[in-house]
Structure 1
Amino acid sequence: MKTEKRQGIVLGEVEVTRVIEWRGPFVPARDLVPGVAAEVWKDNEDWLSPDHWEPDADLAVVALQTWVLRSAGKTILVDTGVGNGRERPGSPQFHHRQGDFLGVLARAGIRPEDVDIVVNTHLHGDHVGWNTVASDEGWRPAFPRAQYLVPAADEHHFGPGNAYGNGLREDDRLIYEDSIAPVLRAGQMVLWDGAHRIDEHLTLESAPGHTPGSCVLRLASGSDRAVFVGDLLHSPVQILAPSCNSCFCLDPEQAVRSRRRILERAADEKELVVPAHFGGAGAMEVQRKGQGFALGRWAAHGDTPTATPPEATPPEGA
């Protein structure tokens, strides 16, 4: 496991800082993206390893990270990671985790009271954990001045309205109770559907499938374009095989439609694609290739060099 760190770039008039809560081997590669065959990982080992795949153990490498945007005078967090001290019996990697996320934010010059907006791209536990912190009175919002933007469809699905994600996982109820409900009770939550404009540079758009309310955040500032895609992508092999979902996608067919739509637009409009969990550079350009896509240049975040990956090998029939 690598230590927490921060890295940054500027896109138009928006400063983007990447705050890494945790990064390392996570789960078997073909458990994470079941539809991608073993030979696809092997054929692309030269660029998947070490940032996205640990070949000796056949483990996907992921990052838990928050993207901090400074835009139009506001400080905006995109997703808030796992959090500390959470009851997550169904997720051993996250159960009772302890880390220094708020300390990393502070060293990046961001105090909790400085945050104006928190964006949850969806309500899985590794995207909402630092929404709240423990106090003597129970869980309370970690960012006391912030407006929390939450997809309405996810709040319904994972909340009591839909009996905590249809009752499929005990973790869903626990996540809602410690990371969502306290924000709602504090009056700091804004539920939205379809699209939501944050400012002249940033817009949220629904991209359902991974969860009912999964969304992306589009950035357009000057000539620069980016799209923060949350969990539409868990591994860059999904760019080569966009019809392959992660094991966490709740509506597989809808997830594929959303992924293809977002990748098509990113390729056509030269948007930098910024997924929630990629290691290495963490973001890249994509290009159309036949009926599918190819990886373009990786982004540069501080000490991570800009580079063009070797020619990737798509799966047959992609």
Structure 2
Amino acid sequence: MQTFTLGDFEITRITEWHGRFAPADVLFPSLPADAWREHRSWLDPHHWDAASGDYRAHMQTWVLRGQGRTILVDTGLGNHKPRVHPLLADRDGDFLHRLAAIGVRPEDVDTVVNTHLHTDHVGWNTRLVNGEWAPTFPNARYLMHKADFDYWNPANGVTPRSDFADPADSRAGFEDSVLPVHRAGQAVLWDGAAHALDAGLSLRHAPGHTPGSAVLELHSGTDRAFFVGDVVHTPLQFLLPDHDTCLSEDQRQAALTRRRMLERAADTNALVVPAHLGGAGVAEVAREGTDFVIKQWAPLAAPGE
């Protein structure tokens, strides 16, 4: 099962790709090596490949349907995008067919939330139409924080600080997956600490991984969920929240943001829904002293099962 219900909303996971991404000790340089081994029984195989030591990533989009709305949280890798990273480059995947399989056509989508503007979160913002990049979802508002729009815009001359992503891919991703949406008048550049969508849905600024990273918060009936994008990359960060990934622009701020988010999630019984977790992919956390434990996982099967 890849669908569950929260209040008035049906939540569906659409996985575009999953597999071994990079060595875990490279992506998470400060995480103790023995932490991966200590938790091998539940990290391997969905979150970590014990044999190779590689972190396993899942590129996925969360689809929220309810109250007459169809909302996408992040849009993955995209097709035909010129990139340096081999995972991202010139893909020809079936993402739109996977959306169609759950009854969602591009014109049905009214809101796209880009939790941040890394290239693996904006790829399907656009697609090629007669040789030009055009918004994939013609009736949607695309919500993105202005801090990220300004930071990743090559015209502003900012040099990214993370030591893993290729700057050429960052530039290309902005130019083919963000600018066309803005030029079409479909981008909503929100600013500040929070932005309300509708009753029960709001965006909260969550800087660190990128300057404009954000969390989509859902509150429907008695249910809550935080769609946290890359505030969490591995479930080990539930247990050890002060350790960050080399993909972040400000690792110290990212760790502070993650801890604050987990505190709020634990105190409100909110599901934490990261962008890249495999397995069940969604968890509730509880406080344990000054840190956290995984209280329970959502009833979702791993992709492919």
* 1:274-289 equivalence runs, <5 A: 274-289=273-288
The alignment status of 1:37 with 2:35, answered yes or no, reads: no
The alignment status of 1:133 with 2:127, answered yes or no, reads: yes
Equivalent-residue separation in structure 1 for 2:269 and 2:33 (angstroms): 30
Displacement of 1:85 in angstroms is: 1.1
Count the aligned residue pairs.
297
* 1:216-295 equivalence runs, <5 A: 216-295=215-294
Q: Which position in structure 1 is the counterpart of 2:54?
A: 59
Q: Which position in structure 2 is the counterpart of 1:174?
A: 172
Displacement of 1:72 in angstroms is: 2.1
Identity score, percent: 52
- Kept in 1, the 8 Å contact 2:111–2:142? The answer is yes
Equivalent-residue separation in structure 1 for 2:157 and 2:171 (angstroms): 8
The alignment status of 1:97 with 2:119, answered yes or no, reads: no
Equivalent-residue separation in structure 2 for 1:27 and 1:244 (angstroms): 17
- Classify 1:166/1:239 alpha carbon distance in 2 versus 1 (closer, same or farther; 3 Å): closer
Displacement of 1:177 in angstroms is: 0.7
- Kept in 2, the 8 Å contact 1:164–1:172? The answer is no
Equivalent-residue separation in structure 1 for 2:2 and 2:22 (angstroms): 25
The alignment status of 1:112 with 2:99, answered yes or no, reads: no
- Kept in 1, the 8 Å contact 2:160–2:249? The answer is no
SS at match of 1:286: strand
Q: Which position in structure 2 is the counterpart of 1:315?
A: none
- Kept in 2, the 8 Å contact 1:12–1:222? The answer is yes
- Kept in 1, the 8 Å contact 2:77–2:120? The answer is yes
* 1:156-175 equivalence runs, <5 A: 156-163=150-157, 165=159, 169-175=167-173
SS at match of 2:15: strand
Displacement of 1:238 in angstroms is: 1.0
Equivalent-residue separation in structure 1 for 2:189 and 2:155 (angstroms): 14
- Kept in 2, the 8 Å contact 1:231–1:277? The answer is yes
- Classify 1:121/1:165 alpha carbon distance in 2 versus 1 (closer, same or farther; 3 Å): farther
Q: Which position in structure 1 is the counterpart of 2:8?
A: 13
Q: Which position in structure 1 is the counterpart of 2:137?
A: 143
String of CA shifts for 1:95-154, please: whole Å, max 9, x gaps: 112210000001110000000000000000110000000111410000011110011000
Output the amino acid matched with 1:129.
G
Equivalent-residue separation in structure 2 for 1:110 and 1:256 (angstroms): 36
The alignment status of 1:83 with 2:78, answered yes or no, reads: yes
Output the amino acid matched with 1:238.
Q
SS at match of 1:198: strand
String of CA shifts for 1:34-62, please: whole Å, max 9, x gaps: 11111110011001111111100111111
> Unpaired segments of 5 or more residues in structure 2?
none
String of CA shifts for 1:264-317, please: whole Å, max 9, x gaps: 01011110000000000010011111111111100013x46xxxxxxxxxxxxx
Equivalent-residue separation in structure 2 for 1:72 and 1:218 (angstroms): 16
Equivalent-residue separation in structure 2 for 1:98 and 1:247 (angstroms): 28
Displacement of 1:166 in angstroms is: 5.2
- Classify 1:159/1:165 alpha carbon distance in 2 versus 1 (closer, same or farther; 3 Å): farther
Equivalent-residue separation in structure 2 for 1:185 and 1:73 (angstroms): 27
SS at match of 1:196: strand
Equivalent-residue separation in structure 2 for 1:150 and 1:93 (angstroms): 24
Equivalent-residue separation in structure 1 for 2:218 and 2:135 (angstroms): 26
SS at match of 1:238: helix
Displacement of 1:165 in angstroms is: 4.7
Dislocated runs of 4+, deviation >6 Å = none
Displacement of 1:228 in angstroms is: 0.5
The alignment status of 1:183 with 2:177, answered yes or no, reads: no
- Kept in 2, the 8 Å contact 1:164–1:173? The answer is no
TM-score in terms of structure 1 length: 0.91
- Kept in 2, the 8 Å contact 1:32–1:247? The answer is yes
The alignment status of 1:25 with 2:20, answered yes or no, reads: yes
Equivalent-residue separation in structure 1 for 2:92 and 2:279 (angstroms): 23
- Kept in 2, the 8 Å contact 1:17–1:68? The answer is yes
Displacement of 1:71 in angstroms is: 3.0
Equivalent-residue separation in structure 2 for 1:7 and 1:166 (angstroms): 35
Equivalent-residue separation in structure 1 for 2:142 and 2:267 (angstroms): 31
TM-score in terms of structure 2 length: 0.94
Equivalent-residue separation in structure 1 for 2:160 and 2:101 (angstroms): 40
- Classify 1:257/1:112 alpha carbon distance in 2 versus 1 (closer, same or farther; 3 Å): same
Equivalent-residue separation in structure 2 for 1:242 and 1:10 (angstroms): 28
Equivalent-residue separation in structure 1 for 2:274 and 2:154 (angstroms): 29
> Unpaired segments of 5 or more residues in structure 1?
1-5, 305-318
